[in-house]
Amino acid sequence: MKPRHLWARSPKSVLFSLGACAALVVACSSSEEATPTRTLTPTPVGADGGSADAASEADPCTTETGCFSCEPVTLTNFLNACTEGQCAPFDNVARLPLYEAGKPLPPIP
Residues that bind other proteins (CB under 8 A): 1, 3-7, 9, 13-15, 17-18, 21, 24, 26-28, 34-37, 66-67, 71-72, 74-76, 78-81, 83-90, 92, 95-99, 105, 108-109
Cβ distance to other proteins smaller for residue 50 or 80: 80
Residues for the chain: how many in total?
A: 109
CB 26 within 8 A of CB 89: yes
42-64 exposure pattern, b = at least 16 Cβ within 10 A, e = fewer: bbeeebbbbbbebbbeeeebbbe
Cβ distance to other proteins smaller for residue 50 or 66: 66
Cβ distance to other proteins smaller for residue 18 or 50: 18
